[in-house]
Structure 1
Amino acid sequence: MNGSSQVHATTPAPDDQRTVPRDYLARSLAQTQKETLSRCADHLHAATAMHAITYTGFTALKLCGIETPHCPRLRDTEFHVLYTARQQRPRRLNTRYLKLPDAFRNCSVIIFRHGETTVRCTHPLVTWAMLATFLTQTETIALLDAILRAGSRSAFPNGIPLTMGNVSAFLDNAGDFPALKRCRAAVPFIGVVTDSIMECRTLLALLRYGLPYPSVHLRVYIASLDLTVPVDMAYGNGKVIVEYDGDAHRQDQRQYRWDERKRQALRAQGCTVIVAFADDVTTASGRWALADRVADALGVTLDGWPQTPYRVLIDDDRRAEDRDRKRRERRKARAEGLA
């Protein structure tokens, strides 16, 4: 990225043992960030290229402490490296080269220091825009949510919180790039940033099948505990609550006990609390069943069709159906060729 401005960052600070239970995600990302920085330094020392290497894709996300999206096309390679010309793509083990669109030639890069080694990666918004080419619309939205969540932490590389205003300005000024339409379509889905990428996927599953946008992080008063507590998502001013429960909740015993105590108290005062797990979010049947449970609690019937502002979510299903159709046609053609 010749001529680009540079943003400096430091190695992440050690974990504070006094962190609250809900910080388990931040701790995990900080550990991944530290390990990735070390791995990139080793990767650079083994490089023979004369030009500076800039990491992008999943590698850049991990360096910046950002959750990675679901992307089967890229997940099997550890290092994602930027290139602008074919001669910058030497064959290196476990390395995938991603082309920098012309629209981002002058965008800033993030610089980390690992001892005497300088590690460079693309800015998170550039990384997002590049990865969106390989992502579904749902994962493009979920990754933007994850970037904004990381940008709200003081550990974010440039020290400046990312806002939706920054995102809109980035898209307005970037010019044309392959996934511009998909990135623009993601922006209206970001209201209040969720607590995790799986929580964001839970929200999108509700929208996909026709439910309205819930209140995110609504604060509900629990009389029996004399506390006002946040809930992941809620409808009807907190009468129907949806919470995502990942494995880390159960591994952190303090978090697990608090979650259970909170949910029992909410149910005792008349709230319906629906808990979503990974299977409810990662499969089409699970997403439909989850949305149907929420609809039943609200006393409405799902038609399986997103409301008008969220219609872009059906594009993923259409693309999946198109891929399945093409696979069937190829199998049929091969069978006829052997007959």
Structure 2
Amino acid sequence: MPMREPEALPQPLDLGPFSVAEARRAGVRRGRLYRSDLARPFHGVRAISESQHDVRARCDAYLPRLRSGQFFSHTTSAALHGLPLPQRLGEDPTVHVSVLAPGRAVRVAGAKGHQLIPRAGLIRLLDGMPVASPVETWCQLATMLTVDELIEVGDALLSKGTARRDEAAAAMSAAVQLDDRPCIGRLRDSWAEVRPGVRSPGETRLRLLLVRAGLPEPSLNERIYDRNGAFVAECDLVYRRARLVIEYEGDYHRTDVRTFRNDIVRRERLEDEAWTTVRVTADDLAQRPAETVSRIASRLASGPPAPR
């Protein structure tokens, strides 16, 4: 005999994740909550489907468990804010949930609980969800990231619009003055090398490679104009005296047709204005760092090209 279709859930339970307690109050039978059409993403929570493939969906699934004073933090809030994370953490499905002391950290499978010292401006709402602020998230990540990875996140924080960038820089500077933060030495080391204007982790890694090899620090995402004052291009890393630009090219420069064609036109326009372009990829940084530094150093040493 074929199994009967599961009975319909009452509204609004049919719209998204809900708690078992909420369902029972709505009159849903206990046995209905164990039917195969309902996923169990966290203890005491049911969802219409298994789809928790991204951080937002996993947070939505956790919301029925979230209590007053609790909020999403660490790598979870970093992903919600769109901050870059290393692959080993970006693919981790764990939901990080914090609470301010003296509240007790949560303990449930699929989530990691944290108890934090109360601080002004620590929590904010993001699309209706309580999350750690971007700067607080950066501080929390010091317990999980290397110095260079923290620099990548810090650069991303300062890549926003001018007003938000200045606000974030002031908050980050204040944060590293405190002695009661976990891994404060790591935060201070990373803050010393954070720079505004960087637009991708690849650009951060390229800048750090060059500076640590002893080359001068380049300007970041600087606008270049022709001899008549007309805009030519905005370039990733710029050595103006040598008329040298270094472009970090992620895969989208190759796979996106429009970007690929625009890159060709831009390089031609830069060459017309006697600028040299060096293109650097992820493989150049990971597999050929010394060669990459040598290529750029030799162009710096040779000085600007002759005008056409």
Normalising by structure 1, report the TM-score.
0.63
Q: 1:55, CA displacement in angstroms?
A: 0.7
Normalising by structure 2, report the TM-score.
0.69
The answer as to whether partners of 1:222 and 1:229 remain within 8 angstroms in 2 is no
Question: Which residue identity is paired with 1:81?
Answer: V
Report what 1:110 is aligned to. 124
Report what 1:90 is aligned to. 107
Greater helix content = 1
The alignment of Structure 1 onto Structure 2 pairs a total of residues equal to 248
2: CA distance between counterparts of 1:248 and 1:258?
A: 12
% identical aligned pairs: 25
Report what 2:75 is aligned to. 58
Alignment match of 1:126 (pick from 126, 133, 136):
136
Report what 1:210 is aligned to. 214
SS at match of 1:259: helix
Report what 1:319 is aligned to. none
> Whose Rg is larger?
2
Alignment match of 1:168 (pick from 173, 196, 202):
173
* Cα 1:38–1:141 shift into 2, 3 Å: same
Q: Structure 1, residues 99-154: CA drift from partner, whole Å, max 9, x if none? A: 53x3x5554301134xxxx521111111111111221111111111111224x289
1: CA distance between counterparts of 2:171 and 2:295?
A: 37
1: CA distance between counterparts of 2:140 and 2:105?
A: 18
Report what 1:44 is aligned to. 63
1: CA distance between counterparts of 2:293 and 2:224?
A: 22
1: CA distance between counterparts of 2:229 and 2:249?
A: 21
1:144 matched to 2:177 = no
**Contiguous gaps of at least 5 residues in structure 2:** 1-53, 303-308
The answer as to whether partners of 1:206 and 1:287 remain within 8 angstroms in 2 is no
**Contiguous gaps of at least 5 residues in structure 1:** 1-34, 301-339
Q: 1:171, CA displacement in angstroms?
A: 2.8
Q: 1:270, CA displacement in angstroms?
A: 3.4
Report what 2:259 is aligned to. 255
Task: Within 5 Å, give how 1:249-328 maps onto structure 2.
Answer: 249-281=253-285, 283=286, 285-299=287-301
Question: Which residue identity is paired with 1:88?
Answer: A
Report what 1:220 is aligned to. 224
Report what 1:17 is aligned to. none
2: CA distance between counterparts of 1:274 and 1:189?
A: 23
